[in-house]
Amino acid sequence: MNVNQMKLKRVINASGKMSILGVSTFSNDVIEAMREGAQHYYEMDELYKESGKIVAQYLNTESALVTNSASSAIALAVAGLVTKDDAYLVEHLHSDPIHKEIIIMKGHMIDYGAPVSTMIHLGGGYVKEVGYANGCTLQQLELAVTEQTVGIIFIQSHHCVQKNMPSLQEVSKLAQEKQLPLILDIAAEETFYKYTNLANLLIISGSKAIEGPTSGIIAGDRQYIKYVQQHYQGIGRAMKIGKEGIFGLLKALEIYKHEQLSKQQQITLLDHFFELEKISGLQVKIHQDESGRNIFRAQIHVDEKKTKYHAQKLTKILQEGDTAIYTRNYFLNVGYFEIDPRSLSHQDVEMIIYSIKQILGG
């Protein structure tokens, strides 16, 4: 199959590590590791166990499992807490009514391409929302705990409500006091080691910061990982990862760098976008990621009255060009879009600026 037969457009990714664009690109070492894994046979149960040991060593956790995505890792983590070591419940996860609550703050009820509540339900958990869209308190979380509660999930993400919310450290302490396991979703984080002592189960994407193939990781306490592992003969059967994916992830984890680009490297790339301020109606600002990650982005503010283009229309035209340019578009409704530099080359930056000038007549 020649890739040119598929009539795929070239894509410039200025939106970040996004699943809709294939998340990340692979290094030659990762591709070679995937080839090595694909061209040999293995006892898959042993490969799952051994790869889990290696991942746990890298992350400094007691145990770990490799899955086909971070989404499936959430579902499997929940399933493990719901059934524990009950083999009957593992087999009948959805056929028998099981009311086991997973507590989540309403401000963390996000849609990252699928609702997080869907993954909790898939794992057999009952979603128990706490607080409101504009805030939550520790007392509200504490009062929500009942005999049916089997765990708490915390989503560490820029998508979540950031104000008037208990910190991860506070929620972790509460979970310990209540002797409840804490699932921590850090799928989109750039570094992981600072989180290992704050939760019982960590959810990590293998294809975002790690830049491996489509995959996920569940890492944490040995006992909870054992609960999760049972579901490989249950719902996890539909979530298995192939041998080539495991080898690619292990190689990517081996060469993983905590920070892909330094602050100065990012800002150096983003400074080029101030060139756009020569166009009447465009204003450029540089800001840090909302959740405090070491990610900096350029905000391109579009004055519709002066440019004759709404930000939404401008980004749509950029996507529909011969070279599809994808920007970060969470704030189009208030008149601006963002440029995430992590996947951009200097040539990509020049192409984005040129394309915007062409559209707006600059």
- Is the pLDDT at 207 greater than 90? The verdict is no
Tell me, yes or no, whether 61 and 183 share the same domain. Answer: yes
Model confidence over 30-44: pLDDT tens digits?
A: 999 999 999 999 999
| Average pLDDT rounded to a whole number, residues 232-247 | 93
In a domain, 25, yes or no: no
Shared domain check, 270 and 135: no
Residue 118 near residue 90 (C-beta atoms within 8 A): no
Q: What confidence tens digit (pLDDT) does each residue in 249-258 have?
A: 999 999 886 5
Instruction: Compute the distance between CA of residue 212 and CA of residue 352 in angstroms, rounded to an integer.
Output: 26
What is the domain count for the chain?
2
**Of the listed ranges 13-22, 59-68, 83-92, 283-292, the one predicted with least confidence:** 13-22
SS (H, E, C) the chain: CCHHHHCCCEEEEECCCCHHHCCCCCCHHHHHHHHHHHCCCCCHHHHHHHHHHHHHHHHCCCEEEEECCHHHHHHHHHHHHHHCCCHHHHHCCCCCCCCCEEEEEHHHCCECCCEHHHHHHHCCCEEEEECECCECCHHHHHHHCCCCEEEEEEECCCCCCCCCCCCHHHHHHHHHHCCCCEEEECCCCCCCHHHCCCCCEEEEECCCCCCCCCCEEEEECHHHHHHHHHHHHCHHHHHCCCHHHHHHHHHHHHHCCCCCCCHHHHHHHHHHHHHHHHCCCEEEEEEECCCCCCCEEEEEEECHHHHCCCHHHHHHHHHCCCEEEEEECCCHHHCEEEECCCCCCHHHHHHHHHHHHHHHCC
Co-location of 92 and 119 in the same domain: yes
Report whether pLDDT(213) > 60: yes
Same domain? For 134 and 102 the reply is yes
Asked whether residue 24 is domain-assigned, the answer is: no
Shared domain check, 176 and 50: yes
Q: 319 and 245, same structural domain?
A: no
When pLDDT is averaged across residues 182-209 and rounded to a whole number, the result is 91
User: If pLDDT is split at 50, 70 and 90, which confidence band does 127 have?
Assistant: very high
Residues 338, 330: Cα–Cα separation, whole Å = 8
On the 0-12 / 13-18 / 19+ scale of CB atoms within 10 A, 113 is exposed
Residue 102 domain-assigned?
yes
- Check whether residue 145 and residue 234 sit in a common domain: yes
Nearest to 195 by CA among 211, 209, 212, 182: 182
**Where is average pLDDT lowest: 14-18, 245-249, 267-271, 314-318?**
14-18
Residue labelled with tokens 């969470």: 330
pLDDT at 7 over 80: no
Same domain, 156 and 243: yes
User: In whole angstroms, what is the distance from residue 27 CA to residue 255 CA?
Assistant: 10
Q: How confident is the model at residue 2 (pLDDT cuts 50, 70, 90)?
A: low
Residue 36 lies in a domain: no
Q: In this predicted structure, what is the pLDDT of residue 96?
A: 78
**The last residue of a domain, from among 210, 228, 255:** 255
pLDDT digits (tens, 9 = 90+) for 273-331: 999 999 999 999 999 887 777 889 999 999 999 999 999 999 999 999 889 999 999 89
Distance CA 84, CA 227 (A): 5
Confidence of residue 167 (pLDDT cuts 50, 70, 90): very high
Q: Determine, yes or no, domain membership for 29.
A: no
CATH code of residue 202: 3.40.640.10
Considering the domain architecture, whether residues 202 and 297 belong to the same structural domain is answered as: no
Query: Which of 95-99, 124-128, 171-175, 294-298 has the lowest average pLDDT?
Result: 95-99
Q: Are residues 251 and 298 in the same domain?
A: no
Q: What is the mean pLDDT of the chain?
A: 91
Domain housing 317: 3-16+260-360
Which of 226, 255, 284 is the C-terminal boundary of a domain? 255
Lowest average pLDDT, out of 19-33, 158-172, 331-345, goes to: 19-33
Residue ending a domain, among 217, 240, 255, is 255
Instruction: Give the pLDDT score at 246.
Output: 96
CA distance 72 to 155: 15
Q: What is the number of other CB atoms lying within 10 angstroms of the CB of residue 207? A: 24
pLDDT bracket for residue 19 (50, 70, 90)? confident
Q: 226 Cβ partners below 8 Å, 6+ apart? A: 63, 85
Residues 57 and 170 in one domain: yes
> Domain holding 319: CATH number?
3.90.1150.110
Task: Give bridge partners of residue 64 from the DSSP assignment.
Answer: 219
Task: Specify whether 137 is located in the same domain as 233.
Answer: yes
